Structure 1
Amino acid sequence: MINNSSTFLLLRLAVGMSMFGHGFVRVFKLAKFSEWMLGKYENSLLPAALVKPFSYALPIIELVIGVLIIIGLFTRQALLVGGITMVILIFGSCMIEDWGGIPSQMIHTFFFALLLSNLNHNSYAVDSASKKQ
């Protein structure tokens, strides 16, 4: 049981740090990130009216998901939102034929799903500590 909990913690921290890092570096340059994303999608089927708000929300979503996963708070919900975010990003990558970006998004999705399916091993987390009280 200790090995399963330690393994879960290690994977949870890695996935959380990846999401946190993506969001953290982007949140300080939201306008620039949004411009970059709008440029990538300008010739796609996705209208700028959808891309622009998403480009501003994505770094904040990544940052919040990362923090929640790292500390293990609302872990199930954070993993679900993280997985859904990856599915949206995969769709977006398909719309601009960015086939090179999809493997990374698929790997993240796989780890979100793996963590979700093993939540019973989430022992070292705020969620677990609050249940013991």
Structure 2
Amino acid sequence: MNKNTAYFLLRVSMGVNLLGHGLARIPKLSVFAEGMTKNFEKSWLPQPFVHLFSITLPFLEFVIGAMLVLGFKTKIANFAGAGLIIVLLFGSSTIENWEAMGIQMIYALFFYILISRQEENCYSLDQKK
């Protein structure tokens, strides 16, 4: 029971975190995208790719976050969240943003826990009856 509750709380916490990122960024999408693109000017990544990713990122955060909060397709949401963190780590490394990478590694650890303890996901829309 406690493991199931702990899983629920961690899943919802990660979901609220990502959902909040998306909700905060979507209303000011162009400002966010311009800022992120500017941050990556010194990167070797192609600027059009960075701009496209920065437009897409808030929607990915919103959708993955909502899925985690609701416990809808939790396995897919966890893998999508982990994949997103890997992409963010890669991007941060291209601009040598080691501080951001440290924070992103914490997210990676939380997704490791969520993925490795998937069987404890009992309080969700996709709960196995």
TM-score bracket for this pair, using the shorter chain length? over 0.9
1:69 is matched with: 68
How far 1:113 moved relative to its partner? 1.3
- Provide structure 2 residue ranges, at least 5 long, that are not aligned to the other structure: none
- Provide structure 1 residue ranges, at least 5 long, that are not aligned to the other structure: none
1:19 aligns with 2:18: yes
How far 1:124 moved relative to its partner? 0.3
Q: CA RMSD in A?
A: 0.7
How far apart are the structure 1 equivalents of 2:26 and 2:73? Answer: 22
Residues 1-133 of structure 1 mapped to structure 2, 5 A cutoff: 2-128=1-127, 131-132=128-129
How far apart are the structure 2 equivalents of 1:123 and 1:85? Answer: 24
TM-score (norm 1): 0.95
How many aligned positions are there? 129
Structure 1, residues 90-121: CA drift from partner, whole Å, max 9, x if none? 01111001111011111111111110111111
Which amino acid in the other structure matches residue 64 of structure 2? I
How far apart are the structure 1 equivalents of 2:104 and 2:17? Answer: 11
How far apart are the structure 2 equivalents of 1:115 and 1:88? Answer: 18
How far apart are the structure 1 equivalents of 2:18 and 2:117? Answer: 19
How far apart are the structure 1 equivalents of 2:124 and 2:84? Answer: 22
Which amino acid in the other structure matches residue 111 of structure 2? F
